[in-house]
């Protein structure tokens, strides 16, 4: 069966510090991978998606970037965090537009 | 107009009652439809897919109306454990568009 891992679960970072969040998927090959952000009390905002290694599409211009160095690894990064980057970051995967399955998320607080 | 719209609620419903949510979408070419459930501070989890013919899973029934471009979710005999935010999701190709969710509170 497929599983998706995210870490860390919670993170508190100062403004201007770098960020690296990692997501890995097990039990499937060539999944579509997604990064979402959810602000408190709000819906999911798609940040990036990837349909293959090295292929990244950005949905929202911002100071975040994503990379997919391996088939089942998706990384979200920032060189300098802003206060507005605080939120709940969710990684998800699916096959060919079917339902998406989510990791447990990382709750990021930027102070 | 938002691509996927939901009433944010909250819906305050007594235990045992029936409750229904609607969700409208703007892209008539949408191909896939889902309801997800999200508990507080947790990741969304798939509740059910929505098929053209409608589908039922226990106390939950989902319907799709392509002509009017909405999907619905009906919960019968609601339980305290049904309290959550229900997210409507509409997709085409590889991308899913998420509604902001409807908050449901079941009261004893």
User: In the structure, what pLDDT confidence band is assigned to residue B71 with cuts at 50, 70 and 90?
Assistant: very high
Q: What is the pLDDT of residue B76?
A: 98
Percent above pLDDT 90 for chain B: 84
**Residue-averaged pLDDT of chain B:** 93
Contacts of B3 in chain A (CB under 8 A): none
Is residue B8 very low, low, confident or very high in pLDDT (cuts 50, 70, 90)? very high
Q: CA B78 to CA A8: how far, in whole Å?
A: 35
pLDDT at A32 over 90: yes
Mean pLDDT of B49-71: 94
Mean pLDDT over B60-81 rounds to: 96
Give the per-residue pLDDT at A82: 95
Give CA separation, B57 vs B3, B6, B37, B54, B81, in Å. Answer: 27, 22, 14, 10, 16
pLDDT above 90 for A99 = no
Q: Does A52 touch chain B (CB under 8 A)?
A: no
> Is the CB of A98 inside 8 Å of chain B's CB atoms?
yes
- How much is the pLDDT for A1? 81
Q: Do A43 and B95 touch (CB under 8 A)?
A: no
For chain A, the average pLDDT equals 92
Inform me whether the pLDDT recorded for B1 exceeds 80. Answer: no
Is A90 near chain B, with CB under 8 Å? yes
Within 8 A of A105 by CB-CB distance, chain B residues are 42-43
CA distance B104 to B79: 11
Q: CA A81, A54, A16: angle at the middle one, nearest 5?
A: 10
What is the tens place of the pLDDT at every residue in A48-97?
999 999 899 988 868 899 999 999 999 999 999 999 999 999 999 998 76
Which of A32, A46, A102 is facing B43, going by the closest CB pair?
A102
The shortest CB-CB distance from B46 to any of A43, A51, A99 is to A99
Question: What pLDDT, on a 0 to 100 scale, did the predictor assign at position A71?
Answer: 95
Burial of A69 (0-12, 13-18, 19+ CB in 10 A): exposed
Query: How far, in Å, CA of B40 to CA of B95, rounded?
Result: 25
What pLDDT shows up at residue B94? 66
């Amino acid at each position: 069966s497929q599983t998706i891992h995210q870490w860390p679960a919670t993170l508190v970072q100062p403004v201007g510090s770098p960020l690296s969040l990692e997501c890995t998927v097990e039990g499937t090959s060539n999944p579509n991978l997604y990064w979402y952000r959810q602000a408190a009390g709000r819906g999911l905002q798609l940040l990036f998606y990837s349909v293959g290694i090295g292929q990244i599409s950005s949905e929202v211009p911002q100071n975040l970037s994503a990379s997919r160095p391996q088939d089942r690894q998706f990384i979200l990064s920032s060189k300098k965090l802003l206060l507005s980057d605080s939120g709940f970051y969710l990684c998800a995967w699916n096959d060919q537009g079917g339902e998406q399955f989510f990791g447990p998320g990382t709750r990021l607080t930027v102070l | 107009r938002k691509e996927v719209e939901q009433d944010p609620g909250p819906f305050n419903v007594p235990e045992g009652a029936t409750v229904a949510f609607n969700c409208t979408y703007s892209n008539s070419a949408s191909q896939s439809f889902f309801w997800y459930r999200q508990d507080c501070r947790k990741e969304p989890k798939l509740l059910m897919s929505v098929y053209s013919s409608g589908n039922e899973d226990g106390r939950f029934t989902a319907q799709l109306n392509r002509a009017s471009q909405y999907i619905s979710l009906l919960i019968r005999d609601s339980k305290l454990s049904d309290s959550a935010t229900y997210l409507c999701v509409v997709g085409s190709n590889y991308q899913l568009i998420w509604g902001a969710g409807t908050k449901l509170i079941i009261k004893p």
